Amino acid sequence: MSNIWLIVQREYLIRVRKKSFLIMSILGPILFGAILFVPALITVFASDEHKHIAVLDESGLFRNRFENTSTLTFTELSVGLDEAKAALKKKQYDGVLLIPDINLSEPKGFTYFSEESLAPVTKSTLERTIRQAIEELRMMRSGIRQEQLDSIRAQVDIATIKIGKEGEQESSSGAAMVVGYIGAFFIYIFIFLYGAQIMRGVMEEKTNRIVEVLICSVRPFDLMMGKIIGIGAVALTQFLIWVVLSIGITSAVSIAFGLDKVAEARTKGQIEQLRQNPEMENAIEISNAMAAIASINLPVTLAAFLFFFFAGYLMYGAMFAAIGAAVDSETDSQQFMLPITVPLIFAIISLSAVIANPNGQLAFWLSLIPFTAPVVMMARVPFTGANWELFVSMLILIASFISMVWVAARIYRVGILMYGKKPTYREIAKWLFYRA
């Protein structure tokens, strides 16, 4: 036991001390944060500059309709278009919005003059303001008063409630989908990334012949499991660093985007007020997504993630170790990689079908097959929660990884001492029955 511990320690330390580990640890969450926030960032940067817009309202219907924002300042002009254009040339304004004397039932002829093209955000702000004004004017024409108008406006949000044994639970299928995808994808990536590291590590020891020195003081099984566990610990460390950094980055970004204001408003029930401010829309959306994620059964999902992460990693890790032991070089490993990569890739490809119908036949069977279960069942857990299928899937996976470790240990034991020729599947099958 102490030997396995020494091996775990070494495998862990040499990897964690590498520069590449540090780089991956920092880059991971940055990339993750980037994927989440780049769209929002782009919008912000696009509307970053301050615009001063002159409004030339020939209809007189839009007085005091345009409210200044942090990026837009409006000035209502009562001069002619030519004079306004001249002012534009003198750079008194960034743009001139011409509202002709319009017919309310058929409004058209809105024009924006400027030396630069109009940013989409600014355009949509202008359009929304004009549209709202026209709608309100029309309604008031048909006899609706401002107070009635305010009470008419509605914000609709469908809450999905799942009826389970524990009673009714709020659920969010959108959030379940996101969490399922991310969880399944992480498992997939980590199995590939760190499984390949196991294989390379075993191969290194084999081609260096250090294995002969090691095997005379350590049992092959200890050597293999020490390596798998050590590298697994590296994966977990990496993952934890990512989570911690991601939380850090997310909260930093939240503050930058004003999500904290949204959260505050949410608790005070003032979300509607906030919604009036177009700048806060991104923030509200992100905040909504976060609230939805919180609505999933997180303890079960997290437990399932850790379980499938480890069981899947152990099972595939043992297979990678066996391959590393069986071959002499990375080129030879390709042929044996196939049985590993095919089920994994199949699982990731079928993921969208599984998530579209998490309780369907495909999803059901793929979560029973141990080779696809870590990815597929993980994607389903946020939808299904803890049910018998989850437990059956887990049981099968446990049984599979134990037998896979057993098989791999036997291949490993023989393989690491075989040099020279590339073995065939048949030979490897024979190794299972050699006496150690």
> Which residues here bind another protein, judged by CB under 8 A?
3, 6-7, 10, 14, 204, 208-219, 417, 430, 435-436
The token pair at 270 is 């003032």
**Which residue number, 211 or 234, has a Cβ lying nearer to another protein?**
211
**Which residue number, 108 or 426, has a Cβ lying nearer to another protein?**
426
Residues 181 and 352: beta-carbon distance below 8 Å: no
Q: Are strands 95-99 and 160-164 parallel, antiparallel or unpaired?
A: unpaired
**Which residue number, 91 or 421, has a Cβ lying nearer to another protein?**
421
Q: Report the distance separating Cα 363 and Cα 347, nearest Å.
A: 10
- Minimum distance from residue 1 beta carbon to another protein (Å): 13
- Minimum distance from residue 213 beta carbon to another protein (Å): 6
**Which residue number, 13 or 395, has a Cβ lying nearer to another protein?**
13
- Minimum distance from residue 339 beta carbon to another protein (Å): 23
- Minimum distance from residue 354 beta carbon to another protein (Å): 41
SS3 content of the chain, % helix, strand, coil (to 5): 70, 10, 25
Task: Check residue 110 and report its DSSP letter.
Answer: -
- Minimum distance from residue 221 beta carbon to another protein (Å): 11
DSSP track, 338-357: HHHHHHHHHHHHTHHHHHHS
**Which residue number, 8 or 99, has a Cβ lying nearer to another protein?**
8
**Which residue number, 159 or 436, has a Cβ lying nearer to another protein?**
436
**Which residue number, 213 or 240, has a Cβ lying nearer to another protein?**
213
The token pair at 314 is 């152990």
Q: What amino acid occupies position 425?
A: Y
The token pair at 227 is 């390596």
- Minimum distance from residue 346 beta carbon to another protein (Å): 35
- Minimum distance from residue 334 beta carbon to another protein (Å): 24
* Residues in the chain, overall count: 436
Q: Report the distance separating Cα 240 and Cα 365, nearest Å.
A: 31
Q: Report the distance separating Cα 321 and Cα 108, nearest Å.
A: 71
Longest dimension (CA), the chain: 100
